[in-house]
Amino acid sequence: MGRDHLMPKAYIGIGGNLGDTITTVRSAFAALAGLPETTLLSTSMLYRTSPLGPIRQPDFINAVAAIRTPLAPLALLSWLQSIEHQHGRIRDGARWGPRTLDLDLLLYGDSRIVEDTLMVPHPGLCQRAFVLYPLYEIAPDLEIPGHGPLVRLLPAVAGQRIAVANLQQGTSGS
């Protein structure tokens, strides 16, 4: 086991709706596994979900990954943004717009972080089925700092559309 058990466990939300989204999400899993001294612990199934916000756009493919890493939260965020960029993510300021890849640091151990560029737990985590269901799949006993047991958050998002992605269907966005 070594020192791995001493390193924080982080949960990363993964999503995209442009291009070959299933391939992109799988590539993001591999990129997370390749982070310095980081272990990819588990990944959820892929889920198809409706986009948020007023912009008309294709459905998203979403997932969650658990990693164990020595990277500090802001360093990890920088790596996540680098992975997004490598996958064609363009940050144009459009909130809730279409994107090739979105990586969100959802949780970092039991930390509560409020910085200009990072909030953990992720501020939208508790209101989003596309985060809570995949997170529950890989960590059903998880406690969300400041919110309690993950399982107690699920009823609040039960009405949101989410389905396991059909990996045989075409997945290209616009």
What are the domain boundaries of the chain?
4-164
CA distance 32 to 168: 25
Query: Above 50 in pLDDT, residue 138?
Result: yes
Mind listing the pLDDT tens digit for each residue in 3-16?
666 799 999 999 99
99 is catalytic: yes
Q: For the chain, what percentages of helix, strand and coil (3-state, to nearest 5) are there?
A: 30, 25, 45
> Which residue type does 37 have?
E
Q: What is the pLDDT of residues 79-130, one digit of tens each?
A: 999 999 999 887 776 666 788 999 999 999 999 999 999 999 998 899 999 9
Give me the catalytic one of 48, 68, 99, 128: 99
- CATH code 3.30.1360.20 for 4-164: no
Asked if residue 144 lies in contact with residue 107, where contact means CB atoms within 8 angstroms, the answer is yes
pLDDT in tens, 48-66: 998 877 778 899 999 999 9
Active site residue 4: no
DSSP per-residue letters across 98-133: --S-EEEEEEETT--EE-SS-EES-TTGGG-HHHHH
pTM: 0.90
**The pair of three-digit structure tokens given for residue 59, joined into one six-digit string:** 């459905």
